Amino acid sequence: MADTATDSRSVAFLGLGTMGFPMAGHLAVRGGHRVTVYNRTAAKAEAWAARFGGAGAATPAATPAEAARDAEVVFLCVGGDDDVRAVAGEAMDAMKPGTIIADHSTVSATVAREMAELARARGLFFLDAPVSGGQAGAENGVLTVMVGGDADAFARAQPLMACYGRSVTHMGPAGAGQLTKMVNQICIAGLLQGLAEGMAFAQKAGLDGHKVVDVIGKGAAQSWQMDNRAKTMLDGKFDFGFAVDWMRKDLGIVLGEARNNGASLPVTALVDQFYAEVQGMGGNRLDTSSLMTRLTR
Q: Which of the residues are catalytic? A: 181
Q: Of 266, 267, 293, 263, whose CA–CA distance to 281 is shortest?
A: 293
Q: Of 259, 205, 263, 260, whose CA–CA distance to 234 is shortest?
A: 205
- Which amino acid, one-letter code, is at 85? R
The whole-angstrom separation of Cα 108 and Cα 119 is 17
The whole-angstrom separation of Cα 34 and Cα 43 is 20
The whole-angstrom separation of Cα 159 and Cα 177 is 17
H or E element at residue 166: strand 165-172
Phi first, then psi: give them for residue 231, nearest 5 degrees: -70, -35
The whole-angstrom separation of Cα 274 and Cα 284 is 12
Residue 17 is classified by DSSP as S
